[in-house]
Chains A and B, each alone.
Chain A
Amino acid sequence: MSLSAWVPIVGLLVLGALFSLFSVAIAPIVGPKRYNRAKLEAYECGIEPTPQPIGGGRFPIKFYLTAMLFIIFDIEVIFLYPWAVSFNALGLFGFVEMLLFIGTVFIAYAYVWRRGGLDWD
């Protein structure tokens, strides 16, 4: 199959990019500017903003853990897709293979669950 079916996707992407870049760039030009020192501080409901290191500083390990679990399951999903598309052609062999694969991931899932990796406390 030729790549010509992909051209409209790129077209829409470019149009969307042009539109959003244009509007993001034009806004500071057409909008008013009234300098005020307090306006430029980070918003924290009116109190003095907490000094925060640029680049995030430290945040809970749970977010990393979720990201790692996501990688495991997303790869599982990606492996499931081609199997699902050609499911009818693969027949019993494909079914058993996928049973083993999902079973393996399921053991990891049960392990993570029991170790409390899925709890958010």
Chain B
Amino acid sequence: MTFLAQSPTLQDFGHDVWWLVLLKVVGVFAMLLLLTLFTINYERKVVARMAQRPGPNQVGPNGWLQSLTDGLKLPFKEEIIPLTADKVVYFLAPVISAVCAFTAFSVIPFGPMVSIFGERTPLQLTDTSVAVLLVLACGGMAIYGIVLAGWASGSTYPLLGGLRSSAQMISYEVAMGLSFVAVFMTAGTMSTSEIVRAQANGNPVNLLGLEFTAPGWYAVLLLPSFIIYAISAVGETNRAPFDLPEAESELVGGFHTEYSSFKFAMFFLAEYINMITVSAVCTTLFLGGWRAPWPISAINDGMFNQGWWPMLWFFAKVLVLLFGFIWLRATLPRLRYDQFMRFGWKVLIPVNLVWILALAGIKTLQNKATDDGTRYTIIGALILAVLLITLLWPSRTPAPAPNLEEQLARRPKGSYPVPPLDLQVPPSPRTRRDVAERQPAMAGGGAATDETGPANSDEKEV
């Protein structure tokens, strides 16, 4: 394989000359800013098309400079800091958000070894043996930016938004972290460039005597992990349908309600960079990274996997994932908070743990070192465990619905009388009349009352 020689290993990092490091740092930084400006427009255009509108089309060619002009406008707007705000924290919160968003991108691989001004170097800012942990750490630190922003504003809506956001992000960070475990298990490393390399070749699989080559992409090989990652990434970036921290209908703007001018722009920037980062991580860990997709990768002995071509595949994959984000936003309504938290804790986490154990079991069975006796012991133990769990699983009997008297008695003493939760409001006389008019054959007798629900006798006389 000629193209594998092009693939960087961990030894290739950390040897760049200082100007090359500087060039790469500025390059990644500028790329993030440009990509953010592009993504904002991209989102507005796609959402507009999905809603049968033209979207921004006035500023620049086809409206593509709209987000740039919006960004340039913001610093020249008045900055309003509420009197109740905690000034220092209020000032630092957007900085924390933006810095975490920028830093997380430093380990994303864009391509193989290339030569820049005669220096041979990997097309990646840097890589370490714990690179994915850095991305997770930045995601964890980003929570501080949002929580502190909500707390320091000294206002009700931001505080609620910040609290919600903290609970949401830590819940989905667990699911996200667990979805990586299967990838590390299969790739045997936590470095991003090595994970990309591990996905280069298909794995030969022998299933029931049938030899075939499984695709190398972990999105195919580890499909449950991919799905869980995709869901938790949306939760982690606070995007629709999981955008509860900034639920406009409840919390105005959520944690950044009290932010204006360029501080608001920092939060906006951080949100979009986070979106790009999770898409890039998804590309790297599950979609084969910068490597060309299958039919293209076979052309001319991997010609398109060399040099600067991989940048194209990388950005194409990221843009497809970003389109997925935007599609979700344009399509799905927002979840209720309790449904959202229940989904994270009661579905994603246990499914993830069971999947990891199943994968570990399969891998141990496949291992050549394991002898047959141990294999049967493992299979037997697994079947026994499943049987035990199904036998001992407590069956849940639904609690009987309390009747009116019980509900009244449960009320705190001296509280204002409220109607019971399952109160059935009898239809108004006008509704009943309308229904009767609509169905003249059923108008007489009890048929109409059946249609409109239980009506008590005194209502009838009104």
Contacts and interface: CB of A to CB of B under 8 A. Distances in A.
Given A19-B98, A52-B154, A56-B159, 13 more contacts: A1-B14, A13-B102, A15-B25, A27-B261, A33-B78, A34-B78, A42-B84, A49-B156, A59-B159, A70-B171, A85-B184, A102-B356, A121-B338
B262 A27 contact: yes
Contact of B99 (A13, A54, A81, A88): A13
A9 B156 contact: no
A2 B21 CA distance: 16
Contacts of B102: 12-13, 15-16, 19
Interface string B85-122: 01000010011001101110111000000000000000
B98 A16 contact: yes
Interface in B8-26: 10, 13-16, 21-22, 24-26
15 contacts: A5-B14, A6-B126, A9-B134, A13-B103, A23-B266, A27-B263, A28-B261, A59-B163, A63-B163, A85-B184, A88-B363, A92-B370, A102-B353, A118-B341, A119-B342
B294 interface: no
B173 interface: yes
Interface in B346-376: 346, 349-350, 353, 356-357, 360-361, 363-364, 367, 369-370, 374
B290 to A, nearest CB: 18
Contacts, number: 235
Interface in A12-64: 12-13, 15-17, 19-21, 23-24, 26-28, 30-34, 39-45, 49-50, 52, 54-56, 59, 62-63
B156 A42 contact: yes
A34 B79 CA distance: 10
Contacts of B182: 84
Interface in B140-192: 151, 153-157, 159, 163, 166-167, 170-171, 173-174, 177-178, 180-182, 184-185, 188-190
Contact of B181 (A19, A77, A86, A92): A77
Contacts of B68: none
B91 A118 contact: no
Contacts of B74: 27
Contacts of A55: 151
Contact of B155 (A20, A49, A95): A49
B82 A109 contact: no
A46 to B, nearest CB: 11
Main secondary structure of the interface of B (DSSP, over half): helix
Given A11-B25, A27-B263, A77-B181, A87 B163 contact: no
Given A70-B171, A77-B178, A40 B80 contact: yes
Contact of A31 (B77, B94, B360, B370): B77
B171 A66 contact: yes
B346 A118 contact: yes
B128 A6 contact: yes
B156 A44 contact: yes
B103 A12 contact: yes
Interface of B: 10, 13-16, 21-22, 24-26, 28-29, 74-84, 86, 91, 94-95, 98-99, 101-103, 105-107, 125-129, 133-134, 151, 153-157, 159, 163, 166-167, 170-171, 173-174, 177-178, 180-182, 184-185, 188-190, 252, 257-258, 261-263, 265-266, 337-338, 341-342, 345-346, 349-350, 353, 356-357, 360-361, 363-364, 367, 369-370, 374, 378, 394
Contacts of B184: 81, 84-85, 87
Contact of A30 (B16, B76, B166): B76
Contacts of B99: 13, 16-17, 20
Main secondary structure of the interface of A (DSSP, over half): helix
B84 A11 contact: no
Contact of B103 (A9, A102, A121): A9
B223 to A, nearest CB: 18
Nearest to A85: B184
Contacts of A98: 357, 360
A27 B262 CA distance: 6
A63 B156 contact: no
A1 B10 contact: yes
Contacts of A43: 82, 155, 157, 252, 257-258
A8 B154 contact: no
Given A13-B103, A24-B94, A66-B171, A91 B84 contact: no
Given A23-B266, A31-B77, A54 B84 contact: yes
A32 B178 contact: no
Contact of A52 (B10, B77, B156, B261): B156
